Amino acid sequence: MNLQFKKVVSVLLMFIMTLSMSVSAIADESTTTVSTAYKDLSGKTEIYAVTETPGNDYVFYNAKNEPNGGVYYGRTAQGGTLANGNYGLINGDYIKNESMISFYYSLSDAYSLEYWSYLFGDMLKDGNHGFLVYINFDNEGADCTSVINGSYDAKIIETLNYLNTLSCPVFLRIAGEVNVWSTPVTPENYIAAYRHIATLARTYSPRVACVYSPNYSSGYLVDMDSFYPGDDYVDWIGCSLYYNRYHHSLTGQDAFLGVGAYGDPLLNVQQTVNLSNLHKKPVIITEGGSANSYNGTDNSDWAADRMARAYSYLSMVYPQIKAIVSSDYGNNWEKTDYTFYDNATVTSAYQKAISSNPTLVSSCKNKGSYYTKLSSYTGKWEGKITLAAYTYSDVKPTASWYIDGKWITMSTDYPYSFVLDTSTLSAGNHTIEVKFSNGASKAYTISTGTQYTASKTNDKLYVDGTLKSPAIYKIEGSNYFNLRDVAALLNGTAKQFEVGYNASTNSVTVTTNKPYTMTGTELTGVSENNAVAAASNNSIYVNGQKLDLQVYKINGSNYFKLRDLGKAINFYVGYENGNVIISSSNSYA
């Protein structure tokens, strides 16, 4: 295990080294610490829809053990004294309901990995859990030469033979966090050592996915890619992702170190995602979290907020991330403690975030939903669709949702979900907008209903022998009339009817033999040669009876076939000499 005190020493040493070291600029500059250490604070404000099929913003690399839909999640296995006095898995009650479990194992361990399976083995029997094994170099850079010359081959092969007996997805993190080692190594030696183990893994445990996993940030100021072992040897790109309020030792450099206001998982993972994009590999967060205590001072509320952000948003904003494992351990002598199975505040936030994120799956056998940017959404806007929104903000904001400029609701918690009921919208174009209390906003225009072209008709309408000029549109060869226009034309006759609207049922009501109440919108004629029509979202009732009619919405008004109205309300409709006829003195025939 790369213990935290080693990270403290390493960061101190490496920060000094930056004064004299040149910056490596291999491959893509966007992956360098120089370019991204101070984080991209552009908001990335975005609206997402929960979908059951992926949008074109989803990435799938067909890597070994990569889920094509759904994100695995879990935590490190933590041994300790159980209630019965035996030594065992003290956070197992939580892990059993998750889809990943991880275990630290070093090349110098006196026991085999199989020996330690009494802690984690039961979790792997049903195939619901993926298994992440950390192959640590206890002596860091000093171990690379020994690995290369085969000194550890017996231990490595023994480990791989055991992993090959497992039927669950297995991930092997090889020599993690090389960019924060306190005993440095040249990229050439590291790559050779990594490749040596990866080659053995391909031979002795071919189903194992090999993971190259640096720390999220490095004081070396060098490109993560300089230690990258090569696409043929890497199946997944990993990251130790921490997002703390305080750093172990350094102060005044929060933006570089990714702590404090910059201690945000969405910021600190940026370099790793850049590396993923460069090499087309899925991302696994191999360890990390937010310390719930620092130097003996409780920090649970702050850590809970950061954990909630991580599990609400990592898989939403970065679809490259396909697995997330959090650190669930601490030591008495460390300044920071990441244990959260026994921290009610952090655990509550963690579980709430998981339950609200439909991409996270509790079993490797399951397939989750997708978060799709509205700009990439290709599905139909029908039924109820769950939306969510993201923006960067140090202080947790609130979010207000608007439709066509009208305030709908406010959301106060991640991921600021809002269920859009498209049946309440008229057919046509609508603007959905989210506005955050930090000033960020995002808006999209959507189109509801199948759209048709409604064209201006040349047919004439005569009502009781008098020429009238209501709005008449032709849709797919048939004439459609505005309901309120027809009500106005028949008002005061034996066939008059009232028109109403029931907001609770989203229905239009027609009551016969009652005078019509004018609204001032009637009989204004057709203002455009062509208009957009879509199936109406309103139910239609005549004298309390629901009718199944073909009704279209045009510019927010309901349009009917005249014969359908004549039959429902019982007035005469005819067609004579190219003219449409309405008679209020005759019944429908």
- Average pLDDT for the chain: 88
pLDDT at position 17 is 33
SS3 readout for 474-528: EECCEEEEEHHHHHHHHCCCCCCEEEEEECCCCEEEEEECCCCCCCCCCCCCCCC
pLDDT at position 289 is 94
Q: List 172's β-bridge partners, or say none.
A: 133, 210
What is the pTM for the complete model shown? 0.76
The pLDDT tens digits for 36-52 are: 544 555 568 999 999 99
Torsional sign, CA 277, 283, 285, 290: positive
- Range 556-578 average pLDDT: 88
The CA–CA distances, whole Å, from 50 to 74, 80, 240, 379, 384 equal 22, 39, 28, 11, 10
Per-residue pLDDT at 465 exceeds 80: yes
pLDDT at position 14 is 37
Do 467 and 461 form a contact (C-beta atoms < 8 A)?
Answer: yes
Distance between first and last Cα of the chain:
87
pLDDT at position 248 is 67
Per-residue pLDDT at 464 exceeds 80: yes
- Range 207-212 average pLDDT: 98
- Range 524-545 average pLDDT: 80
Structure tokens that stand for 52 in this block? 């059951």
Per-residue pLDDT at 588 exceeds 80: yes
Ordered domains of the chain (ranges, CATH): 4-371 (3.20.20.80), 380-448 (2.60.40.10), 452-583 (no CATH)
The pLDDT tens digits for 290-344 are: 999 988 899 999 999 999 999 999 999 999 999 999 999 986 667 889 999 999 9
Q: How confident is the model at residue 20 (pLDDT cuts 50, 70, 90)?
A: very low
Share of the chain above pLDDT 90, in %: 63
Closest among 197, 222, 219, 221 to 210, alpha carbons compared? 197
Do 274 and 316 form a contact (C-beta atoms < 8 A)?
Answer: no
